[in-house]
Amino acid sequence: MILLEKLKEAAISVIPVMGVVWLLHFTAAPLGAELGRFLAGGVLLVCGLAVFLLGAEIGVVPVGQRAGSALTSRRNLPLLLGAGFVIGFFITVAEPDVHVLAQQVSAVDPGISHLVLVGMIAVGVGIFVAVALGRIVFQISLRLLLLGFYGLIFACAAFTSPAFLGVAFDAGGATTGPMTVPFIMALGVGVAAVRGGDGRNDSFGLIGLASIGPVLSILLLGMLHTGGDGAAQAVAGPRENGLWGHFLALVPETAAEVGMALAPLAGLFAVFRLFLLRRMTRFRLLRVIMGLIYTFLGLVCFFVGVKGGFIPAGGALGRLMAVSHPAWLLVATGVALGALAVLAEPAVWVLTAQVEEVSGGSIRSRVILVTLCIGVACAVGLAMFRVAGGLSLWFFLLPGYALALGLTFVCPPMFTAIAFDSGGVASGPMASTFILAFTLGASGGLGGNPITDAFGVIALIAMTPLIAIQALGILYGRALRRPAASARPEATAPAAGEGTHVE
């Protein structure tokens, strides 16, 4: 049964994170009552993740692929680009991760409006989804676009308010969450399939380009912002009302947020059904509806577990590790949590499965997962090192992105596209909830300024996979060339008296 397979995948993803926190509770950072809520939240997380993955597989992804194919087959460029903007805007407004990040930013610095942040992020994503679709149509080099737009990003970052630097780069990562990634990636696959050309390369890169839009839009907002400087404030958690009462109290608010997330998506599906997918059979339509229902239930369960268990425990764990232990142990804890937390990102599983499918099985999903784990582990470790030392985010972003963009010149194009997509999907719900809460707690425990010290961890999580996946691509390319080079002399000059033979 598919649901049992998804439950197994989700359990394998989440249980290691729970194990690390449980071990820390009994050794270095006793969490008290928070441990029980964390473990209960983990159970909800596993169930929610499994149901969400099932819903995305049968409902969201197929509609995205068919919509992309239908839009491209119309041969109407304004329609394609306009639809790309609308899809990117409404899915981002509906993305729960964006609201989680915006709420945490507003809690730390009330001078930064939650609604303004969400609106600016959505506009940025909409514009760059249209840019990404135009790239596929006109076969524009992804490398040139990345170099040009990241040059613009760093030019704007030099003039923006310091309080917005980390928030802007974090927004680029949080945007690509469990709702955005499956639909936008499927849309790109559909467009690339109809457009022709190098479909393997064109199928990826949309998420990487879409992540640029929020960074630019928030940097521009930072140039105009005249609010506070982000003085550290405590982020209130939900009130205690018994173990399960604690979670049940979160259900109405979470269900409303997820309903807001899915309502625009359901509206888009209805529009596609009326104007683009008229030949969709009743059976397929019922599968889409069931997929949306599963997605709704899965996300509600997932975010109730995250808000009720993972965020409070992450903040408490960060404070305890920062106050009671040396900095090296805080960094080591960050490395362990980063390596395991990326496995619990719903969008990571969607991306790795699509990479294996599009590559015809030549790129195994497990290889991508291991590479992402290494990259995110380094990212969270660097974030803890930055919090402990009070270092500027510039010291990490400038050399990191310089290396990532430099690798685009020697990495196979498809791996470059996968790498920039991976940077977005690795920084999803677990990063914007548990890891960010852990970093905020550590910053508060050390007496730092969260708006400048803690925000930026998602940016580092989004940056390191760019380097790790491209390094994997370079190794993959060399491995392919080596057998071809060794086989060439035998093929051209067989031994005397022998013919060529293929088994």
Q: Is residue 147 part of a domain?
A: yes
Token pair in block for residue 456: 């930026």
Least confident of 153-157, 320-324, 362-366: 362-366
Longest CA span, the chain: 86
* pLDDT score recorded for residue 499: 42
| DSSP result, 245-311 | HHHHTTHHHHHHHHHHHHHHHHHHHHHHHHHT-TT--HHHHHHHHHHHHHHHHHHHHHHHHIIIIIH
**Cβ atoms of 373 and 408 closer than 8 Å:** no
Phi, psi of 187 (to 5 degrees): -60, -45
How large is the C-alpha radius of gyration of the chain?
A: 23
The Cα 462–Cα 380 span in angstroms is 10
* Distance in angstroms (rounded) separating the CA atoms of residues 388 and 384: 6
Residues 398-444: tens digit of each pLDDT: 999 999 999 999 988 888 888 888 887 787 777 877 888 899 999 98
Q: Is residue 128 included in any domain, yes or no?
A: yes
Taking the model in full, what pTM does it have?
0.78
Instruction: Decide if pLDDT at 492 tops 50.
Output: no
pLDDT of 392 strictly over 70: yes
* 335 occurs within a structural domain: yes
Q: pLDDT band at residue 358, thresholds of 50, 70 and 90?
A: low
Average pLDDT over residues 463-487: 79
Would you say residue 227 has pLDDT above 60? no
Instruction: Flag whether 125 is in a domain.
Output: yes
More confident residue, 19 or 190: 19
- Phi and psi of 437, rounded to 5°? -65, -40
CB atoms within 10 A of CB 484: 9
Distance CA 118, CA 355 (A): 30
What per-residue confidence (pLDDT) applies to 148? 93
Q: What is the pLDDT of residue 234?
A: 42
CA distance 443 to 84: 39
**Overall average pLDDT of the 186-210 stretch:** 69
Banded pLDDT at 128 (limits 50, 70, 90): very high
486: in domain: no
User: Residue 485 — pLDDT band, cuts 50, 70, 90?
Assistant: low
Domain carrying residue 179: 2-227+242-475
- Mean pLDDT across the stretch 200-229? 78
181/28: higher pLDDT: 28
Report yes or no on 189 lying in a domain.
Answer: yes
pLDDT at site 197: 53
Query: What percentage of the chain exceeds 70 in pLDDT?
Result: 86
Q: Mean of the pLDDT values across residues 287-304?
A: 88
Identify the pLDDT of residue 494: 46
pLDDT score recorded for residue 345: 72
For residue 86, pLDDT over 90 is answered with no
- Report which of residues 56 and 145 the model is more confident about: 145
Residue 168 is assigned to a structural domain of this protein: yes
Neighbours of 486 (CB within 10 A): 9
496 in any annotated domain: no
Structurally, the chain folds into a number of domains equal to 1
pLDDT confidence bin for 235, thresholds 50/70/90: very low
pLDDT at 386: 92
Whole-number average pLDDT of the chain:
81
Residue 293 CB coordination number (10 Å): 14
Higher-confidence position of 203 and 9: 9
Reported as a pLDDT band with limits 50, 70 and 90, residue 489 is low
DSSP state letters, 184-252: HHHHHHHHHHHH-SSHHHHTS-HHHHHTHHHHHHHHHHHHH--S----------PPP-SHHHHHHTTHH
User: Which pLDDT belongs to residue 209?
Assistant: 87
Terminal Cα distance for the chain, rounded: 37
pLDDT at 424: 75
Per-state percent for the chain, helix, strand, coil, to nearest 5: 80, 0, 20
